[in-house]
Amino acid sequence: MNVLIIGPGVIGTVYGTQLGAAGHAISVVEHGNRTDVIAARGLHARDVSSGVETHAPVRVVSSAGAPDLDVVRWPYDAPISRARSGPRTPRA
């Protein structure tokens, strides 16, 4: 599955890391000053209970217009104007 994370903050990082570790292709929309770190190292998350660290390689993209996406993870607080690449699809 091809997953796009818009807003790789705490929640986006957890989703992206777990999905990437499960074998899914993860892309992340550029995210301010974290972009260079994410591009170089991928996403990293550490379970505070167990201490287990999970890593997932990612592709950094400049917009949400990436082709061949199956899922888009959009945290509720991510600015809509930064990631919009076309008309919005109304919710059902």
Does residue 7 come out as left (phi exceeding 0), alpha (psi in the -120 to 50 range) or beta?
left
- With respect to residue 91, please indicate whether it lies within any of the assigned structural domains: no
Task: Dump pLDDT digits (tens) for 42-63.
Answer: 999 999 999 999 999 999 988 7
Q: Which pTM value belongs to this model? A: 0.70
- With respect to residue 44, please indicate whether it lies within any of the assigned structural domains: yes
- With respect to residue 34, please indicate whether it lies within any of the assigned structural domains: yes
- With respect to residue 88, please indicate whether it lies within any of the assigned structural domains: no
Domain that holds residue 59: 2-83
Bigger pLDDT: 80 vs 48: 48
The total number of structural domains in the chain stands at 1
- With respect to residue 12, please indicate whether it lies within any of the assigned structural domains: yes
Q: Which of 47, 44, 48 is nearest to 56 (CA)?
A: 44
- With respect to residue 89, please indicate whether it lies within any of the assigned structural domains: no
- With respect to residue 37, please indicate whether it lies within any of the assigned structural domains: yes
Residue 75 clears pLDDT 80, i.e. is over it: no
CATH of the domain at 49: 3.40.50.720
